[in-house]
Amino acid sequence: MPEDVIARLAGVDGDLGHAIVALAERATPRPARATPAAEVASYGRHGVIVVSPVAALKRLTGVQLVPIGSGRALIALERTQSIPQLELEIGDVLERADVSAADRRTLKAIADILRRTRRSRKLSLAERMIIVLESA
């Protein structure tokens, strides 16, 4: 490698390997991480399901989506809705043919999370109340 290039790399970082990586990262940004349709966001011993807010999910009985930024939302259930009812309703919607691919992907991911958790010996599902402010 030419000495002038080595000198310029040393100006970026004393370790030539680190300097090359730093310049490569600046020149070519990392591809955006594919956002899962639904995933569990954990905090301590707890976790919540974070979803892409798709139309089919918004239409489910007793479901409200609470935006949390970056195009993601939490699922909030009205007091009249339960987790087992939600799981059944998602299953019913998934059986219909008129569900878009994005909606189907999100609903299936939520159903999978609920099913795995329901069947788990290490995890349990619990309902919690959240505070939602609505404009008049």
Return the structure tokens found at 9.
Answer: 């790399």
Per-residue pLDDT of 8-56, as tens digits, reads 888 887 777 777 877 777 777 666 667 899 999 998 899 999 999 999 9
Distance CA 92, CA 102 (A): 16
Stated as kind and residue range, the H or E segment containing 28 is none
Task: Note the pLDDT of residue 84.
Answer: 94
Instruction: Say what the pTM is.
Output: 0.73
pLDDT at residue 88 tops 80 = yes
Query: In this predicted model, which residue has the larger pLDDT, 81 or 26?
Result: 81
